[in-house]
Structure 1
Amino acid sequence: MVTAASRHGTTEAIAREIAEVLAEHGVEAVVRSPGEVDAVDPYEAVVLGSAVYAGHWLPPAGELVERCGPALAERPVWLFSSGPVGDPARKMVREMDKDPVELPEVREAVHPRDHRMFAGRLEREDLKFPERAALWVFRGLEGDFRDHDAIRGWAESIAGALGASPGRHSPAE
């Protein structure tokens, strides 16, 4: 299962991209929002992600860990965060690229195999007025900064860890 807490859809899109790559390698993957997940028992492995705002994961991701922490710790888990936007040479953007505050606690609870931070996307039309106003002050943060090669490469490494063969396609294809 691939699950991600997303405010404007970008982190959910990353989750769908990860699931797509897993499927391309013969790993059956479903995408669920964290709020839809009552139990992880039906899944052999979990990829859990969240958008990061002001250094924090969104509450639904943390709530999933609280609900299912012991069961998550019994299976392979990979974590990802989505957050930094803008030119990585800017100090403010480098500050966004830090691990979320909750990550040490989440790591302790679920013992993940890996955590990755991926750049995100920020589009004015997705934002509420106060967020749009902030873009006037903090220029250069708007746009799509996702690195799809990095996302796909990480998902391929997960598929490999799950015993999938490179280039193997799912039976539905």
Structure 2
Amino acid sequence: MNPKRVLVAYGSKHGATEGIADEIGRALRADGVDVVVLPADTVTDVSGYDGVVLGGALYAGRWNGKARRCARRNADQLRNRPVWLFSSGPVDSSAEQHEIPPPPGVARRMKKLRAREHMTFGGAMTSETPGRIAQSMVRHGKGGDYRNPARIHAWAHHIGEELGATP
């Protein structure tokens, strides 16, 4: 039996969402899944995958444009396979404390794509994050790395189970 083949695509501006996508990929590989992790703006065909995980960074309650365009561009193919969506963004511990529902635009995409699930993970804004706003927030104590690898791996293993992958 061939392993399931899964695409993990991400829309990331400064790398935090890419890091989450990489963690999802690592966890799925540990479950025996054949995983490809790609930037969302490079994805033009998802027909070769048994499932797709698509994520985007949240900015002011909106998903990263690269993730939005990927969902739109591949919508017909995505509707015909298992899809999971994730967002990254809160630069605080709120994603650890309670489930955060998807923003309205992501919720609409979930419905259009018939996505199975959406998960919000904490984001990261550190002294390495470029941009004046980010640097100002970090200087004023509003930064940090709130990505939780254990939570990311648990969700990825859940996806692996739904796909019938065997660790």
- How far, CA to CA, are the matches of 2:89 and 2:133 in structure 1? 18
Within 5 Å, give how 1:59-70 maps onto structure 2.
Answer: 59-70=65-76
8 A contact 1:4–1:61 mirrored in 2: yes
For 2:131, the equivalent position in structure 1 comes to: 128
- 1:142 Cα shift? 1.1
- 1:107 Cα shift? 1.2
Opposite residue 34 of structure 1, the aligned amino acid is A
Within 5 Å, give how 1:36-47 maps onto structure 2.
Answer: 36-47=42-53
Q: Which runs of 5+ in 2 are unaligned?
A: 1-6
Q: Percent identity?
A: 37
- 1:151 Cα shift? 0.5
- How far, CA to CA, are the matches of 2:147 and 2:133 in structure 1? 24
1:99 partnered with 2:102: yes
Opposite residue 53 of structure 1, the aligned amino acid is Y
For 1:91, the equivalent position in structure 2 comes to: none
- How far, CA to CA, are the matches of 2:137 and 2:144 in structure 1? 14
Secondary structure of 2:90 counterpart = coil
8 A contact 2:27–2:153 mirrored in 1: yes
For normalisation by structure 2, the TM-score amounts to: 0.88
For 1:112, the equivalent position in structure 2 comes to: 115
Within 5 Å, give how 1:74-85 maps onto structure 2.
Answer: 74-85=80-91
For normalisation by structure 1, the TM-score amounts to: 0.85
Alignment: residue pair count: 158
8 A contact 2:93–2:122 mirrored in 1: no
Greater share of strand residues, 1 or 2?
Answer: 2
- 1:70 Cα shift? 1.3
1:71 partnered with 2:77: yes
CA RMSD, aligned part only?
A: 1.8
Opposite residue 112 of structure 1, the aligned amino acid is A
- 1:43 Cα shift? 1.0
8 A contact 1:11–1:49 mirrored in 2: yes
Q: 1:87 to 1:160 in 2, by over 3 A?
A: closer
Secondary structure of 1:52 counterpart = strand
Within 5 Å, give how 1:1-173 maps onto structure 2.
Answer: 1-88=7-94, 97=100, 99-136=102-139, 139-165=140-166, 168=167
- How far, CA to CA, are the matches of 1:98 and 1:47 in structure 2? 17
- How far, CA to CA, are the matches of 2:9 and 2:23 in structure 1? 11
8 A contact 2:125–2:145 mirrored in 1: yes
- How far, CA to CA, are the matches of 1:4 and 1:41 in structure 2? 17
